[in-house]
Amino acid sequence: MKKILLLALTPLLFTNCSVDRYEGDERIIIQGKVVYNNVPLSNAEVDVYPVYNKPVNGSITEVYYNDLNFDYNQNSISKSFTDNSGKLSLSIPRSEDTNVFVIRISRDYDSKYYGYISKYNSSNYYLNLGTLIF
């Protein structure tokens, strides 16, 4: 009886409880540089979050946490760190559910958000953020 029950429940172990909301292998490559007091900011944590905000234009500027409309679980979809020269490079999957993202840059206990990343300001799946001032 235990063997039959085990065989009956085994397929449940291989099913996925969540829905894949990303467009296959399509990714957006994001690059930029982070400075603090005109000095490259090394080893800063860089996270990307999907949001439901509507970009006003295609420029990347600092946005405030209280103005952000995160998805229900506020999970980062990509994480990286700046190198010794303050450069960041990461990729994010293209989402079917939302097409707008923000970047959070953290150092110690300070964080800043920059946005909005969307298909409107990325060309051929690439976006150069330029220099972000932390």
> What CATH number did the domain enclosing 125 receive?
2.60.40.10
Total structural domains in the chain?
A: 1
Q: Is residue 105 part of a domain?
A: yes
Find the helix or strand (DSSP H, E) in which 13 lies: helix 2-13
Residue 12 reports pLDDT greater than 60: no
pLDDT in tens, 58-77: 789 999 999 999 877 788 88
- 71-113 per-position pLDDT tens digit: 777 888 899 999 999 999 999 886 655 678 999 999 999 999 9
Residue at 13 is within a domain: no
pLDDT of residue 123: 78
Average pLDDT (30-38) is 96
Q: Is residue 10 part of a domain?
A: no
Structural domain includes residue 29: yes
**Residue 1 included in any domain:** no
Domain membership flag for residue 7: no
Burial degree of 27 (CB within 10 A; 0-12, 13-18, 19+): middle
More confident residue, 26 or 67: 67
Q: Is the pLDDT of residue 6 over 60?
A: no
Residue 14 lies in a domain: no
